[in-house]
Amino acid sequence: MSAQGSPYASGPPSDRGSGARGAAGSLSRASDRFERWFLRVLTVVLVVGLPLAAAGAGLASYEASMRTVRVQAADRHQVTARLTSKVRGQDWAKRPARVRWTDADGTVRTGTALVPTGTPAGAAVRVWVTRAGTVTTAPVGPLNATTSGWLVGAMAGLGVAAVAYAVREGGLVLLNRRRYAQWEAEWDVVEPRWSGRFRR
């Protein structure tokens, strides 16, 4: 038998049918292609959206807190007040007590402030008051605004990550349900033919 007619002819293998095998013999399903596209989109959303959401929410919270800082700094100031009576108690807690002070215009005012227990009557204490002469708390500072910005930004980033994870898991569950349904439908068609071979 000549080499030309031999089934074991030398030389490179023929390319016949390789294109058909590459197209029809692929094990990639439409659901697999959709899953790859779906995960890529989620990855882009996570990589781009997470820092944008964190930065946007953090900066918005910081700016809002800084407005509060500026308003409180402009409206509140400290004065030296005198206790009108002794603050009774033996613990380290602060208790509300009546205090009296004189405004810059000479107006005598009174109010209630938190004072350490055991402070005698007539003792000088520093209290924060508003322009209207009401005792209040100390104004918040820039550190509070910075902390608020970081916390809100971190929470926004975690929220985006959690939503992306939930969407990923939910999408994969739906895809797998669809695959199982397709497999069952295909098996219902193939199984009678396949099992019939053994009953002949």
pLDDT at 32: 76
pLDDT at 16: 46
Q: How many angstroms separate the Cα of 168 from the Cα of each of 23, 42, 192? A: 29, 7, 37
pLDDT at 156: 94
At residue 99, what are phi and psi to the nearest 5 degrees?
A: -130, 160
Q: How many angstroms separate the Cα of 10 from the Cα of each of 3, 5, 6, 16, 17? A: 7, 11, 9, 16, 19
What is the rounded (10 degree) CA torsion for 139, 145, 146, 149? 160
pLDDT at 36: 85
Q: Please list the pLDDT of the chain residue by residue as tens digits (200 residues).
A: 444 444 444 444 444 444 444 444 466 677 778 888 888 888 898 899 899 999 999 999 999 999 999 999 999 999 999 998 888 777 778 888 899 999 888 889 999 998 888 888 889 999 999 988 899 999 999 999 999 999 999 999 999 999 999 988 888 888 888 878 777 777 777 667 766 655 55
pLDDT at 200: 54
Report the chain's terminal Cα–Cα distance, integer Å. Answer: 40
The dihedral region occupied by 133, where left means phi > 0, alpha psi between -120 and 50, and beta the remainder, is left
State whether the Cα torsion 126-130-134-136 is positive or negative.
negative
pLDDT at 25: 43
Instruction: Give the list of residues 6+ apart from residue 3 with CB closer than 8 angstroms, or none.
Output: 9, 10
> Buried b vs exposed e over 139-166: b needs ≥16 C-beta within 10 Å?
bbeeeebeebbeebbeebbeebeeebee
pLDDT at 62: 96
Contact (Cβ atoms closer than 8 angstroms) between residue 81 and residue 113: yes
